[in-house]
Structure 1
């Protein structure tokens, strides 16, 4: 069967309605983390976040991670900030109780990280002084309308800007991931959802169209290896 990449797929990923045990979830997330580590996904967000905060010389920065899952990205940020002697307050937000249980267990050595369980589209964070909002592989879970709402909401919230890291929708990415997953991914859910994530993901023209609906920010959208886009919004 031919796969259509001209439009974003609207099929729901298995992980969006996951009903297994926390241990099963942990194994799947380890698979996903292995992909991010091997293909450089984490470094894209790290580089963009530190570039963004380097524009302002503040005593400390508060960063909100929307859709943080079990918190791997936050822990990597914390480790890098410690190396650079930068003080961060890191807040992870997710709707999945099991993911946050794992996040708290894995983050006991990181007092600068806290977690909040809530819906990232409806929660009110206006009482917090947020400098940067970031999201990694979360945007593609939303419809086009949801993406615009999401980005506008958090552009208003962040004093410095927003960092988005997500997938490119393309046949090359799809079939290379299929081959990659044969060797490096153990769980069927991670394999299936990985392929579906690519079909739900974006082409640059999609991101540009969303950016045109987000005001009060300058937009930087760039393709990154392996088949990612980084979209940085700097507040005006």
Structure 2
């Protein structure tokens, strides 16, 4: 199955249907619970970092509807850990949705905040976070943008960064297509999800694009983890 980097996702269009976009953000929590694996990422990579600090900062780059950022905060709170989470996305539509969804779940700033920014803006401001992450972002980026994300992460991250993305395969495409049939036409989830799989990387392709000091790991189900551990690599 060849990668198709030219395929475009409807939700990335500034003129896409606003109602379908809101429904897409609203359905992200369901899809992410099923396929993104962030509870395991939290347990393996993030909780150990938080446990060693009285208070830690987490940055979610390309936060979309904000469900990953909110879940990380709630998991840490349940574990008795002190953390603040910042979700950033250059799309104001995503930020507006994330802020409203957070308020509905009882989340208030500054515990979790959502800002209409890109990672380069924060890096230029000298911001520093213990943990930096992204979910299903890498396949959206061209070659230059992917390198910039890694450079920004190296400036922003003090302990560990985990960029989790889809891993391309024909079976993943077939399974996702079948599983999301009930959502067809209700949002962009099914159509854009299938495009995302076709745009995503294999492990070998991501290894070729990784900057020195970065690790690439395969995770289940059908995910790639692009990992930066500055404490070990510097």
- In the alignment, structure 1 residue 106 sits paired with structure 2 residue 101: yes
Q: Which runs of 5+ in 1 are unaligned?
A: none
After TM superposition, which residue ranges in structure 1, 4 or more long, deviate above 4 angstroms?
Answer: 20-23
Task: Give me the whole-angstrom Cα distance separating, in 2, the residues matched to 1:41 and 1:22.
Answer: 28
With over 3 angstroms needed to count, the CA separation of the structure-2 counterparts of 1:137 and 1:153, relative to structure 1, is: same
Task: Give the equivalent residue in structure 1 for 2:220.
Answer: 225
Task: Give the equivalent residue in structure 2 for 1:202.
Answer: 201
Task: Give the equivalent residue in structure 2 for 1:191.
Answer: 190
Q: Which runs of 5+ in 2 are unaligned?
A: none
- The count of residues paired between Structure 1 and Structure 2 equals 227
Q: Is the 8 A contact 2:58 2:132 kept in 1?
A: yes
Worse-superposed segment, 104-113 or 170-179: 104-113
Task: Give the equivalent residue in structure 1 for 2:62.
Answer: 67
Q: TM-score, normalised by structure 1?
A: 0.86
The Cα RMSD (Å) is 2.2
With over 3 angstroms needed to count, the CA separation of the structure-2 counterparts of 1:227 and 1:181, relative to structure 1, is: same
The residue correspondences of 1:54-133 to structure 2 (distance < 5 A) are 57-108=52-103, 109-111=106-108, 112-121=111-120, 123-124=122-123, 126-133=125-132
Q: Deviations over 1:101-120 (max 9, x none)?
A: 11111223223011111233
Q: Is the 8 A contact 2:26 2:65 kept in 1?
A: no
Worse-superposed segment, 23-32 or 97-106: 23-32
1:12 to 8, 11, 14: 8
- In the alignment, structure 1 residue 156 sits paired with structure 2 residue 151: no
Write 1 or 2 for the structure with the bigger share of helix. 2
Secondary structure in 2 aligned to 1:95?
A: coil
Task: Give me the whole-angstrom Cα distance separating, in 1, the residues matched to 2:214 and 2:145.
Answer: 20
Task: Give me the whole-angstrom Cα distance separating, in 2, the residues matched to 1:174 and 1:195.
Answer: 6
